[in-house]
Chain A
């Protein structure tokens, strides 16, 4: 009963392409049969109804079918991809996983952990007889937090019909964005095109080969796409919509992409593991101003920070105190500017840099620095300094090696008309490693 809506869509379009994996096509008919098959498999392997089950896989036809079968079985599903390999043991403990389903090899394997479920929130979902979902935040600003959702209200959102699109499953299987893309696609008889690599050329090749219309991605990836010029080497004419979220977008990146592809709609998304993905509408493709909300969501701004009230909000964190206010609002700690009904997200409060009393957000400095010739990527953060409180430190990855002093001089020239003096990094470090994690989200936790 929990996947009734998705099943009805699946049954209505048996011959449509549902999933493309390793360049092979899997139809909705295949998916329906697969869900049945895996339901039997779960039964045969003593995966109890309502149990907490980790599903360890990335997007694949089997993992998708298993996910749906587990939901139908009212299990609390804990998706875990290879990107969190080193944290799996910790995450399984936090979520009190009773059964592990490994589905990233030839044949799915089931093992039982012997762990007992004692957490009040997990017991609550069980008492409701509802399926659940546990998502771990990326931990890019601290420790990873496990958010537990009751899937019934979360799945409600997908019953309103939307256009069917061919979309890349860029966002990970264990990420709220990835889950959202998947359910959206299945609920509207769209097609999920999986990719073996999330590097720009591989993604562009998949877009060209499978005539993909939608790319849900992150600002870091779009920047990489521009810097690598992968877009020159592949035919992206099928692309209609690129959505971006998970971190602040640099205005310069947005403008550059829009200039290259004026016909592709660029749409900012806003969502969190804790409340799901909100509906959003950017003012324009090259604008950072966005309206967010939609059915079941309310927004308000308190102390310049965005707060959200969601019908589909999580029950709570499994390993952290409740982030909700007394009146049920979720504090995002995202600092925003407001203009009428639109918001402009400046950055997380924790990223704010205070230099001698003047405030600056990493994104605004990065936006200027990343347009410097020879700069592959840049991350800005604050560092403590007793003279001014904090200083602005830029970590830069360059195309070619360059002496630090030469770069600093170039940087100052480049920035002097675009930024007030205090925003120009007082410290520069040239790095050679990539600064984003597997989720293509720039890591910028500040040192203090």
Chain B
């Protein structure tokens, strides 16, 4: 994949986990007890439906802005046209977010 070191990606993974826990706290969303880079988000093994995914993406965008000072769009036509869905796992989302942070 393009750009960003593994260390940076893992930073974003942490932020995603933080965002998920935030949403769990706010909305009572059911989340797996272990949240790590390879945890599935969407799909047959995922724990998010479309509503929860949207909420996560919004929360993540706002957290990225707060933490890194960068404004990104993580849900747009570009995201949906990726060959491998950026929403499949936490790591996939982290990589995609990093990509957008560097190019937006």
Contacts and interface: CB of A to CB of B under 8 A. Distances in A.
A408 interface: yes
B75 A409 contact: no
B57 A387 contact: yes
A356 B27 contact: no
A386 B76 contact: yes
Given A388-B50, A388-B51, A427 B58 contact: yes
Nearest to A413: B26
Contacts of A422: 51
Interface string B46-74: 00001101110110001000000000000
In which size bucket is the chain B interface?
Answer: 10 to 19
In which size bucket is the chain A interface?
Answer: 10 to 19
Contacts of B26: 405, 408-409, 411-412
Given A405-B22, A412-B26, A391 B58 contact: yes
B6 to A, nearest CB: 28
A116 to B, nearest CB: 49
B25 interface: yes
Contacts of A202: none
A405 B62 CA distance: 10
A355 B49 CA distance: 13
Contacts of A412: 26-28
When A and B form their complex, which 4 residue pairs have the shortest distance between CB atoms, in order from nearest?
A409-B26, A427-B58, A408-B26, A412-B26
28 contacts: A355-B51, A356-B50, A385-B54, A385-B75, A386-B76, A386-B79, A386-B80, A387-B50, A387-B54, A387-B80, A388-B50, A388-B51, A388-B54, A391-B54, A391-B58, A404-B62, A405-B22, A405-B26, A408-B26, A409-B25, A409-B26, A412-B26, A416-B28, A426-B51, A426-B54, A426-B55, A426-B58, A427-B58
Given A356-B50, A422-B51, 18 more contacts: A356-B51, A385-B75, A386-B76, A386-B77, A387-B50, A387-B75, A388-B54, A391-B54, A408-B22, A408-B26, A409-B26, A411-B26, A412-B26, A416-B28, A421-B51, A426-B51, A426-B58, A427-B58
